[in-house]
Amino acid sequence: MVLKLYAVSISTCTRRTATIFHELQVPFELVEVDWKNNAHKTPEFLEKQPFGQVPYLDDEGFIVYESRAICRYVAAKYPESGLIPTDPKANALFEQAVSVELTRFEPTGGKIGLALYTQKTSGVVADKAIIDPLMATLDKTLEGYEVILGKHRYLAGDTLTLADLFHLPYLSYVGLQGSDIMTKRPNVARWYSELIGRPSWLAYVDGVKSTLEY
Ligand SMILES: N[C@@H](CCC(=O)N[C@@H](CS)C(=O)NCC(=O)O)C(=O)O
């Protein structure tokens, strides 16, 4: 049976999962959650995702939520993809990189990306007093990324992994107000432009849709 993703097509976390499914060429059905009418806060939904957020995945009755966990679950079924390296040393470097994404990029890039994306799509103006300090912190973080990406093509080595892809979608939105934060350092710029140009990302740029074949 095809994977069922209970989600919202325009949501950023939904895109993270769909992008990875596309990388793996795994068919999935998007079951659109009516979040305008708070369908994600109902007892039925909370039974599956106790925090009342999208997305969650249903794989023949096996339920998993948290977008990164969903991606890791599906990628683990396809070890040959290399998106989660299995060699112990390669895996350690991968875990290092996913930790960097979650603890260093997400707290700043995630907030900036979400605020600017929301501004673009709904007109709710991002608060400069909040964005500017986050930008300064992210800029400092990207100095470290420049060092890493000066040594190898991707964050965990010369092979693309989930650690890189997890940065999407917020990565693509942090420069929305004309900031050069992603383009002023050569290695970060190269990595950034490759990621935001990937077919897996571009496929859902206008929203995620069910993809039953590739
Ligand atoms: N850490 C969670 C975050 C999920 C999340 O923030 N979902 C947002 C959409 S991207 C949501 O459901 N927002 C609506 C709400 O919180 O009520 C994940 O990665 O899945």
Asked if residue 203 is part of any domain, the answer here is no
Residue range 39-65, pLDDT digits in tens: 999 999 999 999 999 999 999 999 999
Residue nearest to atom 15 of ligand 1 (CA): 53
Asked if residue 56 is part of any domain, the answer here is yes
> Do 53 and 127 belong together in one domain?
no
Pocket of ligand 1 (CB under 6 A): 11-13, 40, 52-54, 66-68
Asked if residue 23 is part of any domain, the answer here is yes
* CA atoms of 25 and 112, how far apart (whole Å): 30
DSSP 32-92: E--GGGTGGGSHHHHHHSTT--S-EEEETTEEEESHHHHHHHHHHT-GGG-SS--SHHHHH
Contacts of 183 (CB under 8 A, 6+ apart): 175, 189, 192, 193
> Do 95 and 194 belong together in one domain?
yes
From ligand 1's centre to the CA of 151, what distance in Å?
34
- Count of domains for the chain: 2
> Do 120 and 59 belong together in one domain?
no
Asked if residue 208 is part of any domain, the answer here is no
* pLDDT given for residue 123 in this prediction: 86
Residue range 72-98, pLDDT digits in tens: 999 999 999 999 999 999 999 999 999
Q: Give the pLDDT band of residue 177 (cuts 50, 70, 90).
A: confident
The residue assigned the tokens 């948290």 is: 66
Q: How far is CA 14 from the centre of its chain?
A: 8
Task: Report the pLDDT averaged over residues 179-208.
Answer: 96
* CA atoms of 179 and 177, how far apart (whole Å): 6
What range does the domain containing 18 cover?
A: 3-81
Asked if residue 103 is part of any domain, the answer here is yes
From ligand 1's centre to the CA of 164, what distance in Å?
20
Asked if residue 213 is part of any domain, the answer here is no
Asked if residue 58 is part of any domain, the answer here is yes
Q: Pick the atom of ligand 1 nearest to 65's CA.
A: 20
Asked if residue 19 is part of any domain, the answer here is yes
> Do 76 and 92 belong together in one domain?
no
Q: Give the pLDDT band of residue 109 (cuts 50, 70, 90).
A: very high
Q: Give the pLDDT band of residue 128 (cuts 50, 70, 90).
A: very high
From ligand 1's centre to the CA of 54, what distance in Å?
5
